[in-house]
Every structure is written in structure tokens, then in C-alpha cells.
Chains A and B, each alone.
Chain A
């Protein structure tokens, strides 16, 4: 069996790799965060992913959601030291997990019965852990590779034809989500300024009025100026004043 290991602690990775090797499986990748786990899972197509839950940036649960949404996804087994809430959620939805320090027999058992885990099942677990759990990253595909953009790095989202362009601090990517869906999910972090545009509240630098009376939003960390529609202007004024 080909196994991918994701844990932010080097010694934990080392031990897990040794145990997986003892169990007669092959470690194809050993990565230190959720982003790398998703990218490597997409690239190397392992049979099983062993994911630590608490990792900086993209955590194990979010990574599992993205991995389970890949075509022909690998099985996911969670690894955790102590997560009262997560353990209850796993038991409730029959998701497999191993506890740290991991026992060899337990790991072998988990590997041998590793079933495919549907994305909807991981969604359910995440739903039990927090009623309004938002994604921490947005996932896009650039020239065949997966790219993960942390939501906190997003400057603004602009709808174009069938896609939404995600403008973030390090460039821009296309995603297939609908702008409305993104607004529903991240409504507390973004504000609508136009029929086709959502701006991150934290990134709004202020409003400017053009010579022709149109109003624009200035964005922190970007030279772009975005037009505000007449309909969204009153609400936006109020928001800017309260910032």
C-alpha cells in the first residue's frame, strides 16, 4: 500500500513512517502541513493519507475535505493526540482514526481496513465540530496543479463569466465556485460592493469618488480600484464609517 503522511512535528512523522514501513507499506511522501498534503495527494495518488488534525495553516480536517473531493480519492485516516470533540465526531460518522502515540497493531488494523471516505462524510464530521465551520483555504487548479489560497490572503473576488477570479496577495487564480455561494460562506469576512464583486473587509483602505461621480473602493496592498454599484453604496458607506 502507498501511504502519505502529514504531520507538522518531525519526530511524529519519523515514528509514523517507521511504523508504516514495519507494517509492510510504502511511504510515498511525508509532508508537514495540510497544503502540501493536498498537493502531494493530488500528484502522487497514494492509497491512504494519514493526516494529523492539528496542523498550522490548513488543518487535517480541511485537508481531508479537499483530498476526499479529488477524483478517485485516497482513503483518509486521522491521527490525533487528544481531541475530545473530534473523537466523538469520528465515532459518530465511522471515520477511522488512530491515537498518538500510535500503536503498531492499531495502525496495521486501520491500514488494512482503510475504506474510501466520501467528501460528504468529512463534511459531516467537520459540521459536528463547529456549526459554521468555514473553509480556511480556497482550492484552485493552475495548469493541472492544485493551488491553495488562504482565505485571509484574499483581497477581493470578482465574477467573470462562469468563473470567479480570486485576487490574493500573491497573484490571482480562477475558481469554479459561484460568487453567491462564496458570499454565503464567508459573509462575515467579505462585503459585496457590486453585482460581480466581493471585497475582504480587512483589506478595504477607503472610498474614492471619481470625477464623474462614480465611487471606487481602494484596496490595501493592491493598486486596483473597484467600482461600487449605486445599490451597494449606502451600506458600504455605513460599514466604512464603522471600521
Chain B
């Protein structure tokens, strides 16, 4: 139950993390802007140096102007961030960009006016106010665009690292259910005394399962191996659940030598037991039907399940999503995993092409 409540809070966090906009209220971002501003000032001053040698004074004035602008941007983007995050990403990007251009243009206009009216002489006497404003705006437009792009790429990269971490964690969780391990150990412990041969077989099946589960994510096997694995899993569960778990296999049509990513079928069968048979006092039948029409192989796993109101814990979405993403990775659009949950019956349909 405690787990079920978590996703809402988590998705709120990822929603804002999905956003490309960095947190301008942080020191690293402010520092980055100050450094970039200083570089721009230096480039501007050097670029104008072919007619006369740049003075420290010119550089100082330019720095002052640029730094002042950088601080204005940082503060205004920091304050506007909650508003920007509410917009669609492209609109927020446009708004931030416009904000930078507008402040630059306005500041240039004001600075020029002050310089002329007070006769400070910081700005070249031959300069024209409109050209001054236009020049600064264009420089800001180019550099500002590059800076925003830089933050965007950085944010995307961070998001991808997060997503990969999450996916790896989910996959790990989907592959090993501690409950299953300890219950199986318990079964073996009770078999050892009375039925040592069965205990031996159970240890072998368990070893096969863990070899597959602890293998590499991208490991490949054949459909035959996958079927054997699922059979071994169901044998252990039948020892555990006794007559409550009955299995109906109709898979003679399937090509056993078809290559496919490992652990596609076993998790489906495991879900059928874990979410379907185990919570039902009277148990039920897990049906596995396989068919092949020469182009596509279809495997259907069907099981009874309790009504949604009586289910406990989280659903089986994690395992299904893990299989879906691996199918997409290996086959693109040509493979699919469909699931259907209604009237006390849960059904999964796995569809894989015969040709890679």
C-alpha cells in the first residue's frame, strides 16, 4: 500500500525535471552566466581592436555592462521560473529568449541615453543610438541562443541519466522477487526430508531460473529455452501451491529454435501466478497457448484473477513495461505485448516476428 501511494509524488518531480529550463536561482548557473558574460565582453572588445588598441577602460566598461545584464537575466529568469514551468516547453523557451532580448535592448537604450546626456564618453562618440541597440541585441540573440541551447542539452543529458537509472532499478525489481526465492527455499527444505528426489529437481529448476534472471539484460536465447524456463518456474510454484495451481500447455506449434531475447515469457507466467492464482483461495488454471502462422509467433497467457477491489499491492505494470521496452529495442514496431484485464480473467498476448 505504501508503494502504491508513491508514484504520484514521483511523477510530479520528474515532470519538472523533464523541463529543459535550469534552476537560475542556483550558484553554479549564476557562475556559468558570469563567466560566459566575461568571455563575451572580451570577444566584443577584441573584435573592435583592428582600428585601435583596446584599453583596459573599454574592457572594464563592456564587462560592467555585460555583467549587469547577466545579473538582471539571472534574477528575472529565477523569479519567472515557476511561471515558465507552467508553459509548454517551446513556449517557455520562446518566453525566456524574448525576455533576454527585451532586457538587452532596453538596457542598451537606457545606457546610451545616460552616456550621451551626462557626457560620460564611455561609448564611441560617432555611434548612433539605434545601431548601438541593434548591435547589442543581435550579439545577445546569438550568444543567448547558444547559452540556452547549452542548458537545454545539459538538462536533457541529466534526464537521460536519471531515466536509465530508474529503468535499471525497475528491471532489477521485476526480475527477482525475494518472496519467490525464500518461499522456494522453504519448499526445498521441507522436501529434503521426505522426498529428496523432488528436492533435487527443485534445486535444478531454481538454479536455471536464477542463471537466466542474473544474466545480462540483453542476453538472447531460443524460444525452446524460454519455454523450458517457464515450465521449470511453474514446477516450483506447483510444489508450493499444490493443487491450487493447474497448468494447461498448448505450445506444440511453436518453433523451439526461434531466437529471441531471454526472459520474455517467464515473467508473464510469473505474473499469472503471483497476481492471479496465489491470491485466489480456490486457485485456478494458467493457460499457455502458442500459435504460429509462418510470419508471426503468438503466445497467449491466460489466468483467472481476483476483482480489482480485492487486489493488494501494486499491479504488474513493471514487468509488462520492462518486456515492452525490450521488445521495442529488439524488434521495433514488429513485436507487441498486449494485455487485457476483465471480468476476472487476465490475458497477455505476446507477438514476435519469425524473421529478425
Identify the A interface with B (CB < 8 A): 8-12, 14-15, 18, 33, 54, 56-57, 59, 81-83, 85, 99-102, 129-133, 136, 150, 152, 189, 202
Contacts and interface: CB of A to CB of B under 8 A. Distances in A.
Interface in B298-326: 307, 309-310, 312
Contacts of A83: 179
B182 interface: yes
A9 B242 contact: yes
B184 to A, nearest CB: 9
B190 A152 contact: no
Contact of B241 (A9, A57, A101): A9
A133 B187 contact: no
A99 B189 CA distance: 13
Interface residues of B, number: 29
A83 B177 CA distance: 11
A221 to B, nearest CB: 14
B193 to A, nearest CB: 7
A12 B1 contact: no
Contacts of A59: 312
Contacts of B310: 136, 150, 152
A217 B312 CA distance: 30
B281 interface: yes
Main secondary structure of the interface of B (DSSP, over half): helix
B278 A56 contact: yes
Contact of A14 (B179, B190, B278, B279): B190
Nearest to B182: A81
B281 A82 contact: no
Chain B CB within 10 A, most for which of A10, A102, A129, A133 = A10
B183 A9 contact: yes
Given A11-B187, A15-B189, 7 more contacts: A12-B183, A14-B190, A15-B186, A56-B278, A56-B281, A85-B2, A100-B182
Interface string B169-193: 0000000001101110111111101
Nearest to B190: A15
Contacts of B185: 100-101
A165 to B, nearest CB: 22
B241 A8 contact: yes
A11 B239 contact: yes
Given A33-B281, A82-B178, A82-B182, A11 B191 contact: yes
A152 B2 contact: no
A83 B190 CA distance: 21
Contacts of B281: 8, 33, 56-57
B240 interface: yes
Most buried by B among A9, A11, A99, A133: A11
Contacts of A102: 186
Contacts of B307: 152
B32 interface: no
A34 B302 CA distance: 27
28 contacts: A8-B278, A8-B281, A9-B186, A9-B241, A11-B186, A11-B190, A11-B242, A12-B183, A12-B190, A15-B186, A15-B190, A15-B193, A18-B193, A56-B279, A56-B280, A57-B281, A59-B312, A81-B186, A82-B179, A83-B179, A100-B186, A101-B182, A129-B1, A131-B1, A152-B309, A152-B310, A189-B309, A202-B309
Nearest to B3: A85
Interface string B225-263: 000000000000001111010000000000000000000
B194 to A, nearest CB: 8
Contacts of A152: 307, 309-310
A115 B181 CA distance: 30
A171 B247 CA distance: 34
Nearest to A13: B190
A8 B239 CA distance: 12
A80 to B, nearest CB: 9
A81 B278 contact: no
B240 A9 contact: yes
